[in-house]
Structure 1
Amino acid sequence: MPELNRRPVASLWIGTRLHYLNQLCLKSHVAEGHPTTLYCTDVVENVPEGVACRPASEIYDIDMGLVSKTSASFLSNVFRYKMIEKTGAIWIDCDAFCHKPFPEEEGYIFGEHSYRGALNCGVVGLPQGSEVLGMLLDYYDDLPDYPAWWGRRQRKKMDAQDPGLSHAARIYATERTAFGPQAFTHFAKVSGIFAQARSRDVLYPVPFQLNDVFYDPHGRVEGHFTDATLSVHLYTNGTRRWWRKHVPEPGSYAERMCAQVGIDPSLALEQ
């Protein structure tokens, strides 16, 4: 049985139905003893047992008009830091699988991903009231003309965007990650916490470019893991449509983890 009273974790869902990979990842945190909350903009019909649902409006009123011109993940970048500031919970993307429980005693939980050493914000734990959290919230609440880290090329590209779009939507259209990993990496450096980033194996052991391995029955996903691995990002935004519409192959990592946690993939395929 998982230990009780682990650190709470939380995520956001915009929509009415989870895919089985999202069910899997949310329930994996429950299985490891983390109180798990899913903030929702709608009534979600297939939330796994043990996950608490709360209205997203308790944290932040989601601008669905802006979502329609950008993406659901765009607004989640604003939401996650407001949620952390209000509740102190660890943010988890709905495609982050809990491999081991998060440590109780460490205030900062974030890490590098991919091959470039940049930070990702798919799993983020920050102290409430921390300097970096204040910087991120200020950035979203009062957007600059251009993100401070942009060069001439990006500024020129933004100037060419449709002037009828909102300022936030024009930034997003220029650089999709300007509100996510780019912003988090920048403010982690400015606030002086960048050096506290976990190495890639801790939170993002499998590079985004290799995410097909989760569905390969002959793949060696665990070959990417170390004793320090806590979370495994499944990168559902990059998952091929085939895998979103079909159950995973027997013996694949996705199939094995569903069996381990108790998720039936056939009941929550992409429609």
Structure 2
Amino acid sequence: MPTPSASPVRRPVASLWIGEKLHYLNQICLLSHVRQGHPTTLYCTDTVTNVPEGVTVRPASDIMKIDMDIVRQTSESFLSNVFRYKMIQATDAVWIDCDAYCHKPFPDEMTHIFAGHGFRGALNCGVVYIPKNGELMAQLLDYYENLPAAPAWFNKQQRKKIDKQETSLPQAVRIYNAERTAFGPQAFTWFAQQTGDFEKALTPDYLYPVPFQLNDVFYDPYGRVEGHFTDNTLSVHLYTNGTKPWWRKNVPLPNSYAARMCAVEGVDPAKALEE
């Protein structure tokens, strides 16, 4: 009898977790990549007690030192924005946010993986791959490693918000206080425009088929989430930062997208709720 063919080994994906416990939505998102054949690594700053089986755990320090004082003064997202590009450069893996659900595998030949999201069209970097030796990578890392007095795209009001803060604060904190997204989508969009990579963006249906303004639909038992998908859809962003507290602390309603994907991935949501 012929030997059954093994599942294809696909390109690696990776993410970062700052904290000690994953939410069930994070668990299903990580497992979805494992199920699709992607070697999946979770870099951690702490000992995470409920990483699903099949996900490789590595210390975040393998990629870079995480300054927890900066995290406490800003948010986990600030340093994750630096981390994702350093991770891509070091490992050539695709960055996935822990709330990005893998609908279909990422094609091996896809050299630029990023897209616009929401209704405004700005680029997001929740799922991203860019060439590790390209100009966009160089400009992003230079920005993070040599923070300017103010980002080039800041307007007068944003610059005033920086100037009003104590100069003793770390520059990253001052910029973050002036504009929370200055290290994420804003920076990625700006530098992609400078290097010409903006034109290489995928359409939103590839990575962000549901606009973030409509993220309640994932928890609606009558919501037709798949109606947003197209044949292009590779990833479904669940936008946990915008999830209402009720959904973070309670199991999803039967037949909602969140509940159905828990069943697909074999996750009991009751065991991983926000406390």
Match in the other structure for 1:24: 28
Match in the other structure for 2:129: 125
In 2: Cα distance, 1:211 partner to 1:3 partner: 32
User: Residue 212 in 1 paired to residue 213 in 2?
Assistant: no
**SS of residue in 2 equivalent to 1:198:** coil
Identify unmatched segments of 5+ residues in structure 1.
Answer: none
1:93-242 to structure 2, matched below 5 A, reads 93-242=97-246
Count of matched residue positions in the alignment of Structure 1 and Structure 2: 271
Match in the other structure for 2:38: 34
Deviation string, structure 1 residues 41-63 (Cα, Å, up to 9, x no partner) = 01100001100000000000000
**SS of residue in 1 equivalent to 2:180:** coil
Specify the code of the residue in structure 2 equivalent to 1:183. Answer: A
1:5-24 to structure 2, matched below 5 A, reads 5-24=9-28
Match in the other structure for 1:247: 251
Conservation of the 8 A alpha-carbon contact between 1:85 and 1:129: yes
In 2: Cα distance, 1:259 partner to 1:163 partner: 51
In 2: Cα distance, 1:25 partner to 1:133 partner: 26
- CA drift of 1:2 comes to 8.1
- CA drift of 1:262 comes to 1.1
- CA drift of 1:154 comes to 1.0
Deviation string, structure 1 residues 93-123 (Cα, Å, up to 9, x no partner) = 0000000000110111000100111000000
In 2: Cα distance, 1:170 partner to 1:243 partner: 32
Conservation of the 8 A alpha-carbon contact between 1:18 and 1:47: yes
Aligned-residue Cα RMSD (Å) equals: 1.1
Deviation string, structure 1 residues 48-102 (Cα, Å, up to 9, x no partner) = 1100000000000000000000011111000000000000000000000000000
Identify unmatched segments of 5+ residues in structure 2.
Answer: none
Structure-2-length-normalised TM-score: 0.97
1:45-60 to structure 2, matched below 5 A, reads 45-60=49-64
In 1: Cα distance, 2:252 partner to 2:129 partner: 31
Specify the code of the residue in structure 2 equivalent to 1:53. Answer: V
In 2: Cα distance, 1:190 partner to 1:58 partner: 30
Specify the code of the residue in structure 1 equivalent to 2:69. Answer: G
In 1: Cα distance, 2:202 partner to 2:6 partner: 24
Conservation of the 8 A alpha-carbon contact between 1:2 and 1:32: no
Specify the code of the residue in structure 1 equivalent to 2:204. Answer: R
In 1: Cα distance, 2:133 partner to 2:261 partner: 36
Following TM superposition, where does structure 1 have runs of at least 4 consecutive aligned residues deviating by more than 3 angstroms? none
Match in the other structure for 2:78: 74
Match in the other structure for 1:62: 66
Specify the code of the residue in structure 2 equivalent to 1:132. Answer: L
- CA drift of 1:156 comes to 1.1
In 2: Cα distance, 1:19 partner to 1:227 partner: 29
In 2: Cα distance, 1:21 partner to 1:48 partner: 12
Deviation string, structure 1 residues 6-52 (Cα, Å, up to 9, x no partner) = 01000000011000000010000001000000000011000011000
